[in-house]
Structure 1
Amino acid sequence: MTTTFYEHWRKAPEGAWCCPNFSPTEFACQGTGKLLVKEPALDKRQALRHRLGLPLIVRSAYRSPEHNRAVGGETRSKHVDGAASEVAMDDHDPVAFEAVAREWGKGV
Structure 2
Amino acid sequence: MLFGTGAAAQTALGTDWSWANFSIAELSCRCGGRFCGGEYWHDAQFLDALETLRAAMRGSPLIITSGHRCAGWNAAVGGAPLSQHKRIAADIALAGHDRFALLRAAGQAGFTGLGLARTFLHVDRRARPTRWYYPGSKAVWKR
TM tier, smaller: 0.7 to 0.9
Q: Is 1:79 matched up with 2:76?
A: no
Q: Is 1:16 matched up with 2:16?
A: yes
Give the aligned partner of residue 68 of structure 2: 62
TM-score of the pair, normalised by structure 2:
0.66
Cα drift, residue 7 of structure 1: 1.5
Which SS does the other structure have where 2:84 is aligned? coil
Q: Which of structures 1 and 2 has the bigger CA Rg?
A: 2
Give the aligned partner of residue 97 of structure 1: 102
Q: Does the aligned pair in 1 maintain the 2:50–2:109 contact within 8 Å?
A: no
Within 1, Cα distance between the matches of 2:16 and 2:28?
15
Within 1, Cα distance between the matches of 2:108 and 2:77?
31
Q: Which runs of 5+ in 1 are unaligned?
A: none
Deviations 1:32-62 (A, max 9, x none): 3111111111111111112212110000010
Higher relative contact order (CA 8 A, sep 6+): 1
Identity, in percent, stands at 29
Q: Is 1:44 matched up with 2:54?
A: no
Cα drift, residue 5 of structure 1: 2.1
TM-score of the pair, normalised by structure 1:
0.84
Which SS does the other structure have where 1:79 is aligned? helix
Which SS does the other structure have where 1:86 is aligned? strand
Cα drift, residue 20 of structure 1: 0.6
Give the aligned partner of residue 5 of structure 1: 2
Cα drift, residue 23 of structure 1: 0.8
